[in-house]
């Protein structure tokens, strides 16, 4: 049974923090709901559906890849994941913001959970955690006992990585949303009209680079 490498937890937390910074992943919605209700409590409550939607999207991807890893060869799995990462990154760079579902900024908690799930899926949030979990996938060819132990370890590590990832994302979202709400009370919404780093392009580049790394 392979022990989870320390890099897995660092990767999970780092990607969670990156997602938290991206306004499309939730903090802008949490801020909007909090401003509308004039309540910081609403900002914090909105983190629940954001977490559920994001975690569900990532969990589906991780479960699918880890299950596949128990029936195909390790090298095939690595190459396949590399192709998926590159393909998803190219698709995101090409599509940009087009074709996204419209959800009002004053949506309810159920709508926020759905938006979080859709956005996480569209961003390929779960795909970037897969390379860190690949060393734990035993692949086909192992004995039944070894394969079962390896699969159990991979799923356990995947669940822990998902927890670390989600907590890091929500911590960043909470800090940004609450800080933005405090700033709004002093300066209004002018700060939202200033330029913002195009995180979608940066994310697309990261997906492609990670896919290429798996092939090298």
Q: Find out whether 58 and 127 touch, Cβ atoms under 8 Å.
A: no
pLDDT of residue 55: 93
Place of tokens 């799923």: 155
Angle (nearest 5°) at CA 177 between 174 and 183? 135
Q: Across the chain, how many H-helices and E-strands are there? A: 9, 0
Write down the pLDDT at residue 100.
52
Block residue for tokens 């609403």: 42
pTM for the full model?
Answer: 0.80
Contact 133, 44 (CB under 8 A): no
Q: Are 208 and 200 in contact (CB under 8 A)?
A: no
pLDDT value for 198:
67
Whether residue 27 contacts residue 180, with contact meaning beta carbons closer than 8 Å, is answered with: yes
Indicate the domain borders of the chain: 6-215
The reported pLDDT for the residue numbered 136 is 72
> Positive or negative, the Cα torsion across 11, 52, 205, 193?
negative
> Cβ atoms within 10 A of the Cβ of 58, count?
30
Helix (H) or strand (E) holding 152: helix 144-187
As to burial, measured by CB atoms within 10 angstroms (0-12 exposed, 13-18 middle, 19+ buried), residue 85 is buried
| Dihedral angle sign, alpha carbons of residues 5, 151, 216, 123 | negative
Tokens representing residue 5 in the block: 């490498």
Q: What is the pLDDT of residue 199?
A: 72
CA distance 174 to 180: 10
- pLDDT tens across the length of the chain (216 residues): 456 677 888 989 998 999 888 887 888 888 888 888 888 898 899 999 999 999 999 999 999 988 888 788 878 888 999 999 999 889 888 876 555 545 555 567 788 888 889 888 888 888 888 888 887 765 554 444 445 556 777 788 889 999 999 999 999 999 998 988 888 777 665 555 555 566 778 888 888 999 898 887
Please list, in sequence order, all residues whose beta carbon lies within 8 angstroms of the beta carbon of residue 132, skipping any fewer than 6 positions away. Answer: 5, 7, 8, 11, 12, 161
Residue 3 confidence (pLDDT): 61
């Amino acid at each position: 049974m392979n022990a989870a490498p320390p890099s897995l937890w660092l990767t999970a937390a780092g990607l969670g923090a990156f997602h938290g910074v991206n306004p499309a992943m939730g903090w802008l919605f949490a801020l909007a709901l909090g401003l509308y209700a004039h309540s910081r409590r609403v900002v914090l409550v909105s983190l629940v559906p954001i977490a559920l939607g994001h975690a569900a999207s990532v969990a589906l991807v991780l479960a699918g890849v880890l299950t596949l890893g128990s029936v195909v060869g390790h090298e095939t799995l690595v190459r396949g994941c590399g192709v998926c990462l590159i393909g998803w990154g190219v698709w995101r760079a090409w599509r940009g913001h087009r074709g996204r579902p419209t959800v009002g900024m004053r949506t309810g908690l159920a709508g926020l959970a759905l938006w979080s799930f859709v956005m996480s899926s569209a961003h390929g949030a779960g795909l970037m955690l897969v390379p860190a979990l690949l060393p734990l996938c035993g692949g086909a060819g192992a004995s039944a006992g070894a394969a079962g132990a390896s699969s159990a370890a991979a799923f356990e590590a995947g669940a822990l990585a998902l927890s670390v990832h989600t907590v890091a994302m929500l911590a960043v979202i909470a800090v940004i949303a609450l800080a933005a709400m405090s700033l709004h009370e002093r300066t209004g919404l002018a700060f939202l009209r200033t330029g913002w780093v195009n995180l979608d392009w940066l994310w697309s580049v990261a997906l492609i680079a990670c896919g290429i790394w798996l092939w090298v």
